[in-house]
Amino acid sequence: MRFAGLTLAFAGIFAGNALGQAPTINSDGTGVQNALSFVKEWAPNYGIARGSIFAIFGANLASTTVSATLPLQTTLGGATVNVTVNGTTTPALIFYASALQKRASSVGDAGGCGHDHGDH
């Protein structure tokens, strides 16, 4: 997946649920999308910029349905999302979690220390 001209791979989505089922991400081009445009992975204008909000669609992505409160956390609904850019993995800040969908943001400095300081 393209991420501001870089390669983005999700290092992992970890969820715990009562049934112990492993989380899966849709593999039909709708699995990870920019949460504003919802452009599919195969489309020419696809991409997720650093610091933008993205949506993940699949199954067993969280154990409960919950919306985040401030400050945003890296664990929500019993699940985490890790974003890997150029070999550096950072946790994403999660806005919303359910069994079928997650909305999260990569930190603006993904590929750095994992915090958006705005000075690098």
86 located within any domain: yes
Domain tally, the chain = 1
**Using one digit for the tens of pLDDT, what is the confidence trace for 14-37?**
544 445 678 888 988 888 888 888
Closest listed residue to residue 32, CA positions, set 76, 77, 92, 110 = 92
**Using one digit for the tens of pLDDT, what is the confidence trace for 67-81?**
999 999 999 888 888
Confidence of residue 51 (pLDDT cuts 50, 70, 90): confident
To the nearest whole number, what is the mean pLDDT of the chain? Answer: 75
Closest listed residue to residue 102, CA positions, set 33, 52, 19, 7 = 33
110 located within any domain: no
Phi/psi-derived region of residue 28, left when phi > 0, alpha when psi is between -120 and 50, beta in every other case? alpha
Cα separation values, 89 from 11, 17, 38, 120, Å: 7, 24, 24, 17
Greater pLDDT, 19 or 84 = 84
Q: Is the dihedral of CA 44, 54, 98, 19 positive or negative?
A: positive
Q: Which helix (H) or strand (E) holds 94?
A: strand 93-97
Note the pTM of the prediction, 2 decimals: 0.73
Check residue 9 and give its pLDDT. 42
Confidence of residue 66 (pLDDT cuts 50, 70, 90): very high
- Domain residue limits at 87: 2-105
Check residue 14 and give its pLDDT. 52
CA-to-CA distance for 107 and 30, rounded, in angstroms?
22
Contact of 13 with 80, CB cutoff 8 Å = yes
Confidence of residue 116 (pLDDT cuts 50, 70, 90): very low
